Amino acid sequence: MSMIECKNLSNNSLKSLDFFLEEGRVLGLLGKNGAGKTTLLSVLMGVLDKSPYADVKVMGHVPGCWPEAIKNEIGYVPQRFWGFDAMSIREAIKTIKPFYENWDDALATELINEFDLPEHQQIKKLSEGQKQLTSIVLAMSFRPKLLVLDEPVASLDPLSRRVFLEKLIENHCDLGTSVIFSTHITSDLERIASDVLILKDGTSVISGDIESVRESVVRMKFNFPKHKKLTFDGLSVLSSSSHGDIQQLLVDQGGLDVKQILTEKGASNIHCEHLNLDDLFLELHS
């Protein structure tokens, strides 16, 4: 079952974006500031309208048009927490708890304690990191089937970030919750994500199972004669650079024998290197 289906999504920030999130999968969403990550998540949550020709479904429904039962199966942590300013964390929980049939008091208390949150202090007096953690508590404690996280660790210190990831894995990822997780921290995604979607200038440049991406996308370094023109026909080139007669390409092999193709084009001393997500992200944006 597809938890999210997105086809031909375009607006001021996104360009013909296609992707799917299957039930029980964890999708890591990567991209520089302005790449379109928050815009995408806002469309999926019904906060922003989709383009007229886009086909977007979240849990089988157009975003924002969910039946009440479906709406209460979706947890969302926005980039900035808002609302409940005059309430304490416990008062906020008391306010929203009746709307969620599966609200888990024990999990809420566990998260509050693990995050060392002052549960009786007004939310408006919390630090930005504490507000973000409060948002996480409210989104995770009813055990949603779909959890959407927009830069949830941006304001967190390393210890809080580690605790959050542990609790996310323990209470959601390991239990089959579908998760879409936007972040700049590739090491976090390496730890929890099954799939990755990398946006650049509003377009999907890499999408798929993380292990398949690691296997398929490679950095090729080789020598190429200065007097010849290197053409990329037959290759899926994601980025390229050159220094003298030394060429470097980031290529999605797609099952092709890229080394043989480059050899036939006149390349020599060809080296192929598989990359982790961090190096891959840097290579795409260098």
What residue ranges define each of the domains in the chain, with the CATH number in brackets?
A: 2-201 (3.40.50.300), 216-285 (3.30.70)
What pLDDT digit, counting tens, does each position of 184-227 carry? 888 888 888 999 999 998 899 999 999 999 999 999 999 998 88
CA distance 195 to 167: 19
pLDDT tier at 248, thresholds 50, 70, 90: very high
Q: Which two tokens stand for residue 166?
A: 């542990």
Prediction pTM value: 0.90
Other beta carbons within 10 angstroms of residue 84's beta carbon come to 20
8-state DSSP, 124: G
Q: Which two tokens stand for residue 106?
A: 């024990």
Which residues face 182 on adjacent strands? 29, 150
What pLDDT digit, counting tens, does each position of 43-76 carry? 999 988 877 888 999 999 999 899 988 999 999 9
